[in-house]
Amino acid sequence: MEQAQAAERAGFDGVAVSEHFHPWVDDVGAAGFAWSTLAAIAQATNQIELLTAVVTPLWHTHPAVVAQAAATVDRLSGGRFALGVGTGRSESMLGYPYPNYAERAERMGEALDIMRRLLDGAKLDYDGKYYQTKSARLYSPPVSRVPIYMSAAGPKSARMAAAQSDGVIVSIKGVADAMEKVVEPARAESEQGAAVITLHWTVRGRTDDEAWRALEPWRGLRAPNRDTATDPAELRRAADELPRDHILSQYHRVQTPEDYVEAYGEIARTVRPDILCVQTTSVDQMATIEMVGREVLPELQKLAKGGRK
């Protein structure tokens, strides 16, 4: 909440919150309830927009309940909320399976339909293969139209996001690869031009030791089997069995404002996203937020003409 307030003071247009029941490692990781965090941020800020990047409407939370949560956060924030969804990690720690892509895509198709119709005011009887509702309606509806964005890593999901939601969320490791697999298929699928939200990981540190301390809570993010492993202790062990240099090499290293402009400038120029997310970690997040807001955002905004944020 305090970091969201700092981001608003620093000039950011929005903040993104992810949802996971478990963290990526068990020793220094944390995993609070995303909807409670968003409600607190909504009350603690005045103008900054809120985005989930992403929540999963397929397993432990029925898509109708996700729509209810989205509507409530939109009301609490005065219409500043956008809903980002994805098929997520395995939730076998809660007793749910993690099926193949075809089933996950089918589930997402139903979930998108349910959430969109409820958020748009429908009283919904829905008899899907995976989800059902009977006379479901949001009696505390959103105060504005809540956009729904879907995350994608490949062309099938990108086309689905463009056809069935308001746009696509893509985590960028390489710009050319993301353009080919996600951005171009999504834009080609949508006559109106699907919105594109980009995320890109950077790790700030003057030295390898400082960068590693900044990365400690996230080091399981690049461990093998990260999507299917359920125990963060397992992810920690898998990550720590790898050379530290190997883990660090999986992230874009930055330190100065110029480093940040270089890291995100290519995305701004080439992808021209509607929303560009600066996904970064450091040993002093408050100082990093202030510095990026003061010295980096103005430069990125110049480069991103034609995009939105």
**pLDDT at 276 exceeding the cut of 80:** yes
Sequence-separated (6 or more) residues with CB below 8 Å from residue 139: none
Domains belonging to the chain, first-starting first, are: 2-303 (3.20.20.30)
Residues forming a β-bridge with 177:
none
Instruction: Over range 39-64, report the average pLDDT.
Output: 97
Contact assessment for residue 134 and residue 114, using Cβ atoms and an 8 Å cutoff: no
User: What pLDDT sits at residue 308?
Assistant: 58
52 vs 41: CA distance, rounded Å: 12
C-alpha span between 268 and 1 (Å, rounded) = 27
CA nearest neighbour of 168 among 309, 226, 181: 181
Instruction: Compute the distance between CA of residue 171 and CA of residue 189 in angstroms, rounded to an integer.
Output: 19
H/E/C letters for each residue in 189-248? HCCCCCEEEEEEEEEECCCHHHHHHHHHHHHHHHCCCCCCCCCHHHHHHHHHCCCHHHHH
Pairs from 166-170 (Cβ < 8 Å, separation ≥ 24): 166/194, 166/195, 167/194, 167/195, 167/196, 167/197, 167/274, 168/194, 168/195, 168/196, 168/197, 169/53, 169/54, 169/84, 169/86, 169/197, 169/198, 169/199, 170/196, 170/197, 170/198, 170/199
pLDDT over 90 at 292, yes or no: yes
For 202-250, how does the pLDDT look when each residue is reduced to its tens digit (9 = 90+)? Answer: 999 999 999 999 999 999 998 888 888 889 999 999 999 999 999 999 9
Nearest to 202 by CA among 265, 280, 267, 285: 280
Q: How many CB atoms lie within 10 A of CB 278?
A: 23
Q: Are 62 and 177 in contact (CB under 8 A)?
A: no
User: Is 305 a residue whose pLDDT tops 80?
Assistant: no
Residue 44: alpha-carbon gap to chain centroid = 21
Q: What is the pLDDT of residue 222?
A: 87
Q: Give pTM, 2 decimals.
A: 0.96
Q: What is the pLDDT of residue 306?
A: 54
Q: Lowest-pLDDT range, 64-68, 90-94, 161-165, 235-239?
A: 90-94
User: How far apart, in whole angstroms, are the C-alpha atoms of residue 202 and residue 300?
Assistant: 15
Angle, CA of 14, 172 and 37, to the nearest 5°: 35
Percent of the chain with pLDDT over 90: 91
- What is the average per-residue pLDDT within 101-129? 98
Is it true that the peptide bond before 55 is cis, omega within 30 degrees of 0? no
